[in-house]
Amino acid sequence: MTATTTRAEIPERTLRTDRWWLPQLTTTAGLLVFIGYSTWRAFEGAHYYAAPYVSPFYSPCLAARCVPMRGGADWAVVGDWWRLSPALLVLVFPLGFRLTCYYYRKAYYRAFWASPPACAVGEQHARYTGETRFPLILQNLHRYFFYLAIPVAGILTYDAVLGFRNAAGQWGHAGLGTLVLLGNVALIWAYTLSCHSCRHIVGGRLRHFSRHPVRYRAWQLVGRLNARHMQLAWLSLASVGLADLYVYLVSSGVFADPKLF
Ligand code: FES
């Protein structure tokens, strides 16, 4: 067989006869829904706290103008000069993590750029430089966004635990919102730990697994999650949007948080 860098000389765009465009269509629709909703909520700058729940889009709330939470704007490190929505200060981290994620790259390259549209479907662009040039070379920052995603997940865990306090700050409360935040943070951790970079950090660069049994065990666990990375990417995207929506609806008075105990 002769190696070649050009496409086979066939007039058809593809010889595939299945509905190869269907996953791209559903991916595009799903991403557009999330982008539209999250953009509106990120810029709204309101209805992000319904005691004791804080929206994951606004946590940690870093601006001095954040609504008082838990007896004070406890994460406020940015002064009054910040006039935009506080969400914009924090969303850059999870956004960078997801934008550079290996799975999401595949999803949005296919969904929005059609580059490539699918396996064995002809590339429409005249040139293909992959991720070797600016700006796509910045995708290599993914590992660093992974490091930043860990404290973000930790803070969301803290928020979920505080969901066991009532609006007055006393422990021993749980409402539907507590379950919503717990479910969300569980999926956020599962997605974060299923990251390909995490798998490499945990188990990469080892010559002998037998000399590193703890890392080997951790690598196996991460590997099992990693095999579900796509599903976890979508589930955690949906859960973070639903958690925010829940806080929005309770905060804006659409319904009261049902108390469980
Ligand atoms: Fe998807 Fe790292 S590869 S989060």
- pLDDT of 1 above 60: no
- In tens, the pLDDT along 165-175 reads 988 889 999 99
Does residue 30 lie in a domain region?
yes
| Parent domain of 223 | 21-120+130-251
User: Length of the chain in residues, anyone?
Assistant: 261
CA gap 163, 224 in Å, rounded: 30
Does residue 261 lie in a domain region?
no
For ligand 1, the distance from its centroid to the CA atom of residue 96, given in whole angstroms, is 11
Does residue 203 lie in a domain region?
yes
Rg (C-alpha) for the chain, rounded Å, is: 22
Q: Between these two residues, 138 and 205, which has the higher pLDDT value?
A: 138
Does residue 188 lie in a domain region?
yes
- pLDDT of 156 above 80: yes
Ligand 1 atom with the smallest distance to the CA of 197 is 2
For ligand 1, the distance from its centroid to the CA atom of residue 194, given in whole angstroms, is 7
CA gap 55, 160 in Å, rounded: 10
Q: Rounded to whole angstroms, what are the CA distances from 138 to 12, 87, 141? A: 34, 23, 6
Q: In the chain, which residue ranges form alpha helices assigned H by DSSP? A: 21-44, 87-90, 92-99, 102-108, 142-162, 176-193, 196-203, 213-226, 229-251
- pLDDT of 177 above 60: yes
- pLDDT of 73 above 70: no
Residue 1 CB coordination number (10 Å): 3
Does residue 242 lie in a domain region?
yes
For ligand 1, the distance from its centroid to the CA atom of residue 6, given in whole angstroms, is 31
Q: Report the predicted TM-score, pTM, of the whole model to 2 decimal places.
A: 0.92
Q: Whose CA is nearest to atom 2 of ligand 1?
A: 195
Does residue 257 lie in a domain region?
no
**Domain tally for the chain?**
1
- pLDDT of 5 above 90: no
pLDDT at 4: 66
Does residue 7 lie in a domain region?
no
Residue 43 CB coordination number (10 Å): 11
Does residue 1 lie in a domain region?
no
Helix (H, G, I), strand (E, B) or coil at 252: coil
Kind and range of the H or E run holding 83: none
Q: Between these two residues, 211 and 10, which has the higher pLDDT value?
A: 211
pLDDT at 188: 98
Tokens read off for 88: 């914009």
- pLDDT of 3 above 70: no
Tokens read off for 222: 């991460």
Q: Whose CA is nearest to atom 1 of ligand 1?
A: 101
